[in-house]
Structure 1
Amino acid sequence: MTDFRLERWDERAPELQRRANTPEMQAFLAGVEPEEALTSRHRRILDGMREGDTEMFLIVVDEAGAVGSVGYWEKEWRGETVYELGWKVLPEFQGRGLAGRALTRTLAHAAARGRIRWGHAFPRTDNVASNGLCRRTGFELLGEVDFEFPKGNPLRCNDWRFDLAGAGEK
């Protein structure tokens, strides 16, 4: 197992986003994005962190720097405010348990805030790795839903829900 730490999203993040903006990494999303989309997302994340409705972390491995990201942000979903969770790990660092351990820490972080009861993840139905991660991390599968990411790009996703009540910081 590879040792890592979570560090708050900062000016190292755009380089990570560029490294992850490949056909392989974007296969379950909208494909490779233009630089403007990466820049805009970075600004939205920083703004959300300042406003307190977003928490994003870099997954940092000593010898390699930022090798992934994980985080959560507020979203209105079916009449209530929930946290939506998202993550990515660069291909050369996949299969080392980083995503699962980083997601577990991030869920504990969200739970410790004590503000929102439910965390949701929406991996595409055919994304075996992310759906497996949700299952292993303790999410409950609620079913399939239609989703858009980015806006205007329809996706068929699974709606996974995690009960943050009592999960606490670990």
Structure 2
Amino acid sequence: MSDATIPPVKLEPWSDADFDVLRRQNTPEMTEHLGGPESEEKLADRHRRYLDPTENGSMFRVVLPSGEVAGSTGFWDHEWDGEAAYETGYGILPEFQGRGLAVAATIAAAEAARADGRHRWLYAFPSVEHGASNAVCRKAGFELVGESEFEYPKGHFMRSNVWRLDLTAD
């Protein structure tokens, strides 16, 4: 995607009011490649972690110029191949999909990770079967470095592509 086609989004820190975003993302459609919907208790646990940056890194709601919340993204510490790095993830609500917002949110999260400055690499691990999520990584400038067995959520293993972005590159 060229800069001219990236839609404007703003990342705002995750707040107590964002629990509804998690609920709206917790559908069979949105979790098909992530092991399926989570229980209300697991969602509440996830929300608590998102509110505590020491527990789960930097989590954000993705906000459109209209003020509508389109989904979530973030980055957190993750060791990969013996090296400290960041991992990122994203979820755009169905009614906002197909507009390039996941790419825009991922680029914005990468910029936030770059500004954080503690690690060189930002990784993403979408299922090899999730074409749209892999396209987000490619369009956001990540490099495909291989495949791996990946656990997400805890207890659910999937075959994932390993995408990485060099945060020190211009």
If each structure's helix is expressed as a fraction of its own residues, which one has the higher value?
2
In the alignment, which residue of structure 2 is the partner of 1:33?
38
1 CA distance for matches of 2:16 and 2:31? 22
Give 2:23's match in structure 1, choosing from 18, 27, 32: 18
Deviation digits for residues 23-66 of structure 1, max 9, x if unmatched? Answer: 1001010101100111111111222x1x3861111012355632
Taking structure 2 as the reference length, the TM-score comes to 0.90
Shift of 1:78: 1.6
2 CA distance for matches of 1:46 and 1:6? 15
| Residue ranges of structure 1 left out of the alignment (5+ in a row) | none
**RMSD value over aligned CA atoms?**
1.7
2 CA distance for matches of 1:67 and 1:102? 10
Q: Secondary structure of the equivalent of 2:128? A: coil
2 CA distance for matches of 1:115 and 1:3? 26
Q: Secondary structure of the equivalent of 1:12? A: helix
Taking structure 1 as the reference length, the TM-score comes to 0.90
| Residue ranges of structure 2 left out of the alignment (5+ in a row) | none
In the alignment, which residue of structure 1 is the partner of 2:155?
152
Verify the 8 A CA contact 1:111 1:166 in the aligned structure 2. Answer: no
1 CA distance for matches of 2:103 and 2:162? 18
| Stretch moving more, 135-144 or 64-73 | 64-73
Deviating beyond 6 angstroms after TM superposition, the runs of 4 or more aligned structure 1 residues are none
Verify the 8 A CA contact 2:49 2:56 in the aligned structure 1. Answer: no
In the alignment, which residue of structure 1 is the partner of 2:119?
116
Q: CA 1:52–1:25 in structure 2 vs 1: closer, same or farther (change >3 Å)?
A: closer
2 CA distance for matches of 1:4 and 1:135? 19
| Stretch moving more, 62-71 or 131-140 | 62-71
Alignment of 1:99-114 (within 5 A): 99-114=102-117
Give 1:76's match in structure 2, choosing from 79, 83, 99: 79
Identity %: 47
1 CA distance for matches of 2:166 and 2:131? 22
